[in-house]
Chains A and B, each alone.
Chain A
């Protein structure tokens, strides 16, 4: 579903949550990959 910009502009808390969550999704995926490789090469 495309992100509706006018909704994010109208609700700063929602936009903070969406972008914060996006950053964390990337970070947690990196952490997950790190742990998988850590176990793999041990």
Chain B
């Protein structure tokens, strides 16, 4: 079987978590305290990650379909697998449309969105057909560049002169209420989205290290997100950050250092492209795997090609515009709590009760 190393799993999770999140100011409803929302959500996300990483401990090297079938029986497992595969497809359409629209807005304004999406998907289907190893290895190659560009962007923004930490004050000026109101949204996006790794755990070589790797990866990505939040608010201010469509680009465009470091939006486009591509690829790969298990197939190649060609059309039909996509994404993610939190928790409880009775 194809396998990925724990370092590759780390790269997958970090790229997935950073993915589209650098484009938003998460928890912006809490205004200047948005970064505290991320911090609080990160703490809550540890419970979710514990649930996700506890399941493979009982079924090492078994895929999600086998786990569901063993735990619930075929009759209950198949519709649940369909539900999860549609959830992954839905998330893939969100990422796919968003990045297509952002690339069109920033880099290719005169190219039709359909063309951008089809160029995107051809590469994606090719790489997904090569299997999880190739996706993981390519992410391993790109991750240092992603880190470098992110940190370089943050550094240049910080020294550009517009960086004012006073914009973050007073901390918790409106109390804890706005932070706690916004936290469920941020727990759902991006932390809850790691539920997608339930269908990928069985590829990991060293199964006992899954939890440790996941926690480290999520901590690293949260650290980068926190820096991003603080920088956006410090440079743009809470109001402008909240209304800005792509705060990263706005902040990068404010950089003018000695007339050398200017027009750095290309760094933003690179970060968007790498993050968006892999986030969509992982969601779409998870959909292809789950759907192929549903049809009792072992190779998701044809499903990947057929649905890959349909994905741009599905995305365009589902969303009218970028604001429509963001509305459906941000509001809808709260309802997805059933899929990313409640169902895995119930599944884990059933597994634990069943295993306990077997031991007795």
Chain A interface (Cβ within 8 Å of chain B)? 1, 3-4, 7, 10-11, 13-14, 16-18, 20-22, 24-25, 27-29, 31-32, 35-36, 38-39, 42
- In the complex, A27 Cα to B324 Cα: how many Å? 33
Q: A residues within 8 A CB of B79?
A: 20, 24
Q: B266 contacts the other chain (Cβ, under 8 Å)?
A: no
- In the complex, A11 Cα to B83 Cα: how many Å? 16
- Which secondary structure dominates where chain A touches chain B? helix
Tell me the minimal C-beta distance from A19 to chain B in angstroms: 10
Q: B360 contacts the other chain (Cβ, under 8 Å)?
A: yes
Let me know if B328 and A10 touch, CB within 8 A: yes
Q: Per-residue CB proximity of B328-347 to A under 8 Å, as 1/0? A: 10011011101100110011
Let me know if A4 and B87 touch, CB within 8 A: no
Let me know if B357 and A38 touch, CB within 8 A: yes
Let me know if A17 and B353 touch, CB within 8 A: no
Let me know if A17 and B72 touch, CB within 8 A: no
Q: B residues within 8 A CB of A1?
A: 184, 334
Q: B76 contacts the other chain (Cβ, under 8 Å)?
A: yes
Let me know if B343 and A17 touch, CB within 8 A: no
Q: B residues within 8 A CB of A7?
A: 327-328, 331-332
Q: A residues within 8 A CB of B80?
A: 24
B89 (CB) vs chain A CBs: closest residue: A13
Let me know if B343 and A25 touch, CB within 8 A: yes
Tally of chain B residues near chain A (CB < 8 A): 32
Q: B residues within 8 A CB of A20?
A: 79, 83, 86
Q: B residues within 8 A CB of A39?
A: 353, 356-357, 360
Q: B residues within 8 A CB of A38?
A: 357
Let me know if B343 and A24 touch, CB within 8 A: yes
- In the complex, A25 Cα to B328 Cα: how many Å? 23
- In the complex, A2 Cα to B342 Cα: how many Å? 17
Q: A residues within 8 A CB of B354?
A: 35
Let me know if A28 and B350 touch, CB within 8 A: yes
Q: A residues within 8 A CB of B336?
A: 17-18, 21
Q: Per-residue CB proximity of B176-187 to A under 8 Å, as 1/0? A: 000000001000
Q: B residues within 8 A CB of A18?
A: 335-336, 338
Q: A residues within 8 A CB of B331?
A: 4, 7
Q: B318 contacts the other chain (Cβ, under 8 Å)?
A: yes
Q: B349 contacts the other chain (Cβ, under 8 Å)?
A: yes
- In the complex, A28 Cα to B346 Cα: how many Å? 6
Q: A residues within 8 A CB of B83?
A: 17, 20-21, 24
- In the complex, A29 Cα to B72 Cα: how many Å? 12
Closest A-B pairs by Cβ, 6 of them: A21-B338, A28-B346, A39-B357, A35-B353, A14-B332, A20-B83
B93 (CB) vs chain A CBs: closest residue: A13
B358 (CB) vs chain A CBs: closest residue: A39
Let me know if A25 and B90 touch, CB within 8 A: no
B327 (CB) vs chain A CBs: closest residue: A7
Name B350's contact: one of A10, A17, A22, A31 (CB within 8 Å). A31
List 7 other contacts, CB 8 Å, given A4-B331, A28-B350. Answer: A1-B334, A10-B328, A13-B318, A21-B338, A25-B346, A28-B343, A32-B346
Let me know if A13 and B86 touch, CB within 8 A: yes
Tell me the minimal C-beta distance from A1 to chain B in angstroms: 6
